[in-house]
Amino acid sequence: TAGKPITCRAAIAWEAGKPLSIETIEVAPPKAGEVRIKIVATGVCHTDAYTLSGADSEGVFPVIFGHEGGGIVESVGEGVTSVQAGDHVIPLYTAECRECKFCKSGKTNLCGKVRETQGRGLMPDGTSRFTCNGKPIFHYMGCSTFSEYTVVCEVSVAKITQEAPLEKVCLLGCGITTGYGAATRTAKVQKGDSVAVFGLGGVGLSVVQGAKQAGATTIIGVDVNPKKEKLAKEMGCTLFVNSKELPAGKTIQAHLVEITDGGLDYTFDCTGNVHVMRAALEACHKGWGESIIIGVAAAGQEIATRPFQLVTGRVWRGSAFGGVKGRTELPGLVQDYLNGKIKIDEFITHNFGLDDINKAFDAMHDGDCIRAIINY
Ligand code: NAD
Ligand code: AHE
Ligand code: ZN
């Protein structure tokens, strides 16, 4: 198949707010510096639903979503040296070229190499590798894992051990790495710290997992859905607070400050709601508390708080992909899963075939679903 277009099935989002439709598409061979991958499994992340909703300022249609996948390299383009056909890989929406200003800074996992074209749904040469009945279809977040085959940049591929089950470790392509890394890499939670996590989906529960492993002794999970309590406790929450069930007139931040003797060492927003982001910042301890924004807010939304909150020592930060450099660090996180140090299986509540991908989106909106996996 190398060097030739591949005909396969993919879920296409023709327009915002409409269900995905399963179509037959053509996937062009990888150009120089690109890799074509047979996707084995993919998770569905809240961000896929967010962009489908039309709220993403970078959203373009028609597009093939999906950015939490695992697969096997089918063929590589000219000049590709770091992977070859048969390698097991996880596509990365945060590339790692190791050459750009960002990669060389030692200060961030963000990479500048392909981000601009990626944000426009295109490969670096400004074109797409996907067509459906001759019509070009956009890429998504440099991954497009809702397709049996996809093409991504070499710098956007993490090679992992063939021993790892791709239908599990695909979740390291986004949700689990994002939350776990935000706790362990961005916040650098230490033994004895107190933590509050707002939003207990796949990302928030992964923050809980990271915080527990780092030795946090107070881990408060906050959600509006009471069904989240059980798994939150299993993952390591020492307390669950339903922010919809507070006494009249009491804010969640006032409640948390009261029950933690002045506030938390670290808080995390995993909801994408700007009012929750404010509450998370204001629930931090005076003088040193840090709040990490992970959630993605709709285009046009802005955060607010009194500057006094920062003057008095609280810190507002953000985290993308958990601060993790994908090509360098994902192989180790996969190994951590195989060694029992990182939980993944517990997050997988639903499995579907590609034909039922819209059911995976529906499931996400009900409280029993943490992560749905699409198995090809
Ligand atoms: P999810 O939908 O599975 O979970 C969100 C949770 O937040 C749900 O349990 C929901 O009940 C809860 N919630 C909603 N409103 C709330 C409120 N007002 N107070 C408390 N809890 C509330 O989503 P997910 O896949 O875990 O993703 C979480 C967020 O993180 C999304 O915004 C997603 O786009 C974003 N995200 C960011 C990154 C990154 O790198 N920064 C990576 C992955 C996901
Ligand atoms: N296009 C969006 C950007 C949304 C966003 O912040 N994305 C996160 C990853 S979400 C994964 O589920 C991220 O890593 N951002 C860093 C980056 O380079 O995009 C918007 O709102 O415009
Ligand atoms: Zn995601």
Tens digit of each residue's pLDDT (9 = 90 or more) over 350-371: 999 999 999 999 999 877 899 9
Q: What is the pLDDT of residue 365?
A: 83
Q: Whose CA is nearest to atom 17 of ligand 2?
A: 320
Q: What is the pLDDT of residue 1?
A: 86
What residues flank ligand 1, with Cβ below 6 Å? 45-47, 50, 174-175, 178, 198-204, 222-225, 228, 243, 270-273, 276, 294-296, 319-321, 364
Q: Domain end: 302, 318, 334, which one?
A: 318
- Quick check: is 182 in a domain? no
Characterize 66-94 residue by residue with b for buried, 16 or more Cβ atoms within 10 angstroms of its Cβ, and e for exposed.
bbbbbbebbbbbeebeebeeebbbbbbbb
* 170 annotated active-site: no
Q: Domain containing 281: what range? A: 188-318
> Contact at 8 Å (CB) between 224 and 242?
yes
Q: Are residues 101 and 10 in the same domain?
A: yes
* 174 annotated active-site: yes
Q: What is the pLDDT of residue 200?
A: 97
Q: Are residues 332 and 307 in the same domain?
A: no
- Quick check: is 180 in a domain? no
Q: Are residues 346 and 307 in the same domain?
A: no
Q: Are residues 105 and 36 in the same domain?
A: yes
Q: Whose CA is nearest to atom 34 of ligand 1?
A: 47
Q: Are residues 163 and 199 in the same domain?
A: no
Q: Are residues 263 and 331 in the same domain?
A: no
- Quick check: is 359 in a domain? yes
Q: Are residues 141 and 256 in the same domain?
A: no
* Cβ of residue 115 lying under 6 Å from some atom of ligand 2: yes
The residues of the chain scoring below 70 in pLDDT are none
Q: Tell me if ipTM is over 0.95.
A: yes
Q: What is the pLDDT of residue 367?
A: 78
Q: Are residues 283 and 368 in the same domain?
A: no
CA of 175 to the centre of ligand 1 (A): 10
Q: Are residues 311 and 338 in the same domain?
A: no
* Cβ of residue 45 lying under 6 Å from some atom of ligand 2: yes
Residues paired with 147 in a beta bridge = 10
The pTM (predicted TM-score) of the whole model is 0.98
Structural domains of the chain, count = 2
Q: What is the pLDDT of residue 184?
A: 98
Q: Are residues 101 and 31 in the same domain?
A: yes
